[in-house]
A and B are shown apart, each in its own frame.
Chain A
Amino acid sequence: MIGIVVAYNPMKKGTKSMKVGITVWQNRISPVFDVAKHVKVIRLDNNAVQIKDLEMTSSLPLQRAELLSNAGIKVLICGAISVPFAKMIAGRNIKVIPFIAGEFSTVLNAYLNSNLERPEFNMPGYRRQRRRRFHGGRPNGR
């Protein structure tokens, strides 16, 4: 299938397996989640990666969120997504990584290797907020 090199496992310690959903169109990330038809469901076990297809049959936010949730997806990687869809999915305790562009295999590799925050995976015009890291010291500089 695709060459996936897992150098880093993004699963939390103690987690047996995790499912990641990636909306795909023409072997790239779907441009708009709201109307995306196909999701690749990637099951990550400690040493294995399994990929299955999920068809998005409904165009409504609630049903789409339910489909993802019922498939056990915990992280969704997608292209552009409008607020009602993003909120509904986040409400199902699914982490959304939006405005991602690129080929499916490259994006998946980047996610597995924790490189998805690199600017080359951002859709044009989208600025991903950097995660603030705590370096110690007192809050508010006191």
Chain B
Amino acid sequence: MTFNVNRTVYNMVEMKTSLDQDVTRIILESISDGVFTVDHDWRITSFNRAAEKITGIQRREAIGKKCFEVFRSNMCETDCALRRTMREGKPFIDTSTYIVNADQERIPVIVSTALLRDKKGAIIGGVETFRDMTIIEALRRELDGRHQIGDMISHNAKMQEIFAILPQIAESESTVLIQGETGTGKEILAKAIHEFSPRKNADFVAINCGALPDSLLESELFGYKKGAFTGAVHDKPGRLAAAESGTLFLDEIGSISPAFQVRLLRVLQEKTYTPLGSNKFKNADIRIIAATHDNLETLVDQNLFRKDLFYRINVMKLQLPPLRERKEDIPLLIEHIIHRLNHTRNKCIQGITQEALALLMVCEYPGNIRELENIIEHAFVLCTKEEIDISSLPENIHPGSDPQSTTSVKKALEIAEAETILQLLKRNHYNRYKTAQDLGIHKSTLFRKIKKLGINLPKIDGRSTHSR
């Protein structure tokens, strides 16, 4: 009798264990996170359905193999999370890494690890769960894409306004005047307008009016006939002819002489021109986009630029802000430049260290984005690590061997932090709560930072339009 009772209890325990195992198996098979377990010899003991899907490896192939030969993460050799868990006896959550699949693609994943124990609590191995971040990464890139038009990229409010109206401007046939300091991307904006316009299948032709003397500019723009002047041994079509049905970009238009302004005005008014040495008019079916770093209105006031020409080209005016007024774009621009350079130079630089970024955030950039590009290119050439650090930056930027360099970096970080907070506050109309949300910190942390960094705020608190 006693034997039978024991037997029944034994059977019930066995059934419960079997049921528990079934439930665990069903749960593991139904989740979308990859899960595998290993023994003390790092050999895979279980491999769920999602793990098969993410890695592209069948369970029967994976079981019994060394985990690093199946998972193939960049952390396996140097900083394996599972190894750390086994060594330190504690779990690690959401470590970002990548794995290399059989198609030689890098798949971004986040991994979490924990110890695997038996019923008595003895460690029998480890368990690793991992999530495929490919879609998240793609969505992140798509979101970034909202801040991009053509080759222009920005989070800045003023730039966003330009991006918003750019398709309508491009669609129209109106002449556009782009104003902005040197290196702010006037030509890139002009190209973007062309790319979005109905003329996109024809050529975009650029000419720098400030770089050529009058006579050369005239022949370059209008072209010439054979014998028009000494050395004109054959007919040469000008840039106007090259831009036929397309877009002509006249850079540095503020530099052209009063005499040439008259000739250009005729082209804009009559839509015709005469090549040098010819007596025949040619039609000019082109769209003009002009750009200048000068303030044309000031030049008009000083009688250095014709008023009628100014009104002809100032149909749609776009003002590009200098980089010092859109510093929130610096991290995005750096990422964009690194990505482009990686592509053209066949390198694999992952990004920039926080310290180097902090230094770049406090620069004034008189040369604007072009200057930032040059700095990153300089660093790109010298960088031998995965990330650009301070030592790769040009000497005029990084603190070098200055014994107070640590202090400089710390100061630079504080300045960059203060500037970022202030810009976000302005963007959110000084609403502290929204700003804290944007920064991903708690409201009270933001208040503490504002106090610590000595940021002066107006009395408006952003909750209402009224001042206190």
Contacts and interface: CB of A to CB of B under 8 A. Distances in A.
B66 interface: yes
Contacts of A21: none
Interface residues of A, number: 34
A125 to B, nearest CB: 4
Nearest to B44: A124
Contacts of A37: 77-78
B72 interface: yes
B102 A25 contact: no
Contacts of B57: 124-125
B76 interface: yes
B69 A123 contact: yes
Nearest to A33: B100
A14 B71 CA distance: 41
Interface in A34-86: 34-37, 57-63, 79-86
A63 B381 CA distance: 12
B102 A99 contact: yes
B76 A32 contact: yes
A124 B100 contact: no
A32 B346 CA distance: 19
Given A31-B68, A36-B77, A83 B348 contact: no
B153 to A, nearest CB: 23
Interface string B375-418: 00000000011100000000000000000000000000000000
B74 interface: yes
Contacts, number: 89
Interface in B68-122: 68-74, 76-78, 100-102, 104-106
A31 B384 contact: no
B133 to A, nearest CB: 16
A79 B72 contact: yes
Nearest to A58: B384
B58 interface: yes
B240 interface: no
A85 B102 CA distance: 14
A98 B77 contact: no
B351 to A, nearest CB: 13
Nearest to B73: A32
A112 interface: no
B227 interface: no
Interface string B241-256: 0000000000000000
B314 interface: no
B61 interface: yes
A95 interface: no
A61 B71 CA distance: 22
A80 B100 contact: yes
Contacts of B70: 123-125
Contacts of B106: 82
A59 B100 contact: no
Contacts of B77: 25, 30-32, 35-37
19 contacts: A25-B77, A30-B77, A32-B74, A59-B348, A61-B346, A62-B347, A80-B72, A80-B101, A81-B104, A82-B104, A86-B104, A88-B346, A101-B65, A123-B72, A124-B58, A124-B62, A124-B65, A125-B56, A125-B101
Interface of A: 25, 28, 30-32, 34-37, 57-63, 79-88, 98-99, 101, 123-127
Interface of B: 55-58, 61-62, 65-66, 68-74, 76-78, 100-102, 104-106, 345-349, 384-386
Closest 3 CB pairs of A and B: A125-B57, A80-B100, A31-B68
Given A35-B78, A61-B346, 5 more contacts: A28-B66, A37-B77, A63-B384, A80-B104, A123-B69
